[in-house]
Structure 1
Amino acid sequence: MSQLVTSGEDLVRWDSVAEVYARTVGGDDDSFYRRLAPFLRHQFGDVTDLQILDLGCGHGWLTALLRQAGAHVVGVDGSAALIDIARSRYPGIDFQTHDLTAGLPSPRRTYDRIVSHMVLMDVPVLDRLLADVTSALSPDGVFVFSILHPCFFDQAPVQDSETGRWHRHVRGYLEHEQR
């Protein structure tokens, strides 16, 4: 019988791996971001002067990229350790620590764009958060999120011998699995 992990337990685990995570994830070297970036540019367009929420911002690297592109951006994450790293690396950006299972920290504030990159699959309860996201978007707002498909969970990363880039090669995608 599997045991449901609560948000508090998840956040303790994220805090314990924050330093390693911040050294290895994010930016152009992040294989997931390389796939998201063109889509994000297409969906968001010019972000100059837009109000953007980076939901589950971690150590703030995507928040900083959006800020560099001209957006007014807020980063929110449940891990205090990751937010501490974000604040130390990007001191001019508003970073907030908040448990996302409780919804948004300021649900009445509105945003032109909300991005949540590789986060939602790690939030054990989404109902309140998604309701707040819906109400926090401006009338023409856009919410873009990416999640890891379960077929990738048990696939070991491999390095391409020609490019040196890391990826996960999925085999047996159509085979029956129970999780």
Structure 2
Amino acid sequence: MINYDLFAEQYVATVKHGGPRKAHRYLIEQLNLEMNVAGKTICDLGCGQGELAYQLSSLGAVVTGIDASQKLLSYARGLTGQVNWVCEDAMTLSSVPDESFDAVVSSLMLMDVPDHLAVFKQTMRILRPGGVFVWMVMHPCFHSPFCGLQDDGSRIVSQYAPQFWKSEGQGTLRSVLGSYHRPISQYVNDFMKAGFILDRFFEPHYEIKPSSAAQRIPDMPNHFGALGRKRETPLI
């Protein structure tokens, strides 16, 4: 698993300047389509510095935020709100009992683990029957090792195979920590392989404030995600 303790301060600064907040809002919107979160037990898996968990708590959910980075959790504990913060590996969740949650959310975390299928399986285990899992990653087509931005704002993808990679930038998140790139089909098929009933997947488009930089960005989604649920009763 990628060690965010090596980049915690920079990551928190990135989030303060916008970062994944649009993804957080979108995940909450998707979850609200399935349930009234007030009073529900919800796990924010890969919670980082805790903003998504805090937002869910402010809506009345009973929230547990889980992350493998002690440094990011130290920032999370500085937030107000009633959230239970837990340092745990998302691929094992060894301290989390079976059928503990009504819902699990995961924002931009699955690219940081070497075994995403293990995360899917553990999430299935900790969900109650009928529980919902909604997750999002950076879009595998348009944010990948070999997806290059052209002068006209278009992108050319030269490779699409699964691999661990680091960007060529200096001092950026992905140049320091890297990322696990996987095709869309691998995410979706393994999600169902873990036992989830796939309800929908999504490629959200966010409003972009007019600017010279924004005008160079084509109409391509930054994120890809899915929502699925655990069966009410197991298959016989």
Same fold judged by TM-score > 0.5?
Answer: yes
| Separation of aligned partners in 2, 1:35 and 1:139 | 24
Structure 2 counterpart of 1:73, from 59, 63, 69: 63
Q: Which runs of 5+ in 1 are unaligned?
A: 1-6, 174-179
1:117 to 2:165 alignment: no
Q: Which runs of 5+ in 2 are unaligned?
A: 154-207, 222-236
* TM-score, structure 1 normalization: 0.74
Once the two structures are TM-superposed, the CA of residue 131 in structure 1 deviates from its matched residue by: 1.6
| Separation of aligned partners in 2, 1:87 and 1:27 | 20
Structure 1 counterpart of 2:73, from 83, 88, 98: 83
What amino acid is aligned across from residue 36 of structure 1 in structure 2? Answer: L
Instruction: From the superposition, tell whether residues 37 and 161 of structure 1 become closer, same or farther in structure 2 (CA, over 3 Å).
Output: same
1:169 to 2:207 alignment: no
**Which aligned pairs between 1:21-170 and structure 2 lie closer than 5 A?**
21-25=11-15, 30-43=21-34, 45-90=35-80, 92-103=82-93, 105-153=95-143, 154=147, 162=210, 169=217
The two structures, once aligned, show a CA RMSD in angstroms of 3.3
Once the two structures are TM-superposed, the CA of residue 96 in structure 1 deviates from its matched residue by: 0.7
* TM-score, structure 2 normalization: 0.58
| Equivalence for 1:16 | 6
When structure 1 is superposed on structure 2, of 72-81 and 91-100 the one drifting more is 91-100
| Separation of aligned partners in 2, 1:167 and 1:104 | 47
CA contact (8 A) 1:27 1:33 kept: no
The count of residues paired between Structure 1 and Structure 2 equals: 161
Once the two structures are TM-superposed, the CA of residue 35 in structure 1 deviates from its matched residue by: 3.8
**Structure (1 or 2) with the greater helix fraction:** 1
| Separation of aligned partners in 1, 2:220 and 2:64 | 40
In structure 2, the residue corresponding to 1:101 is in which secondary structure?
coil
| Separation of aligned partners in 2, 1:94 and 1:164 | 42
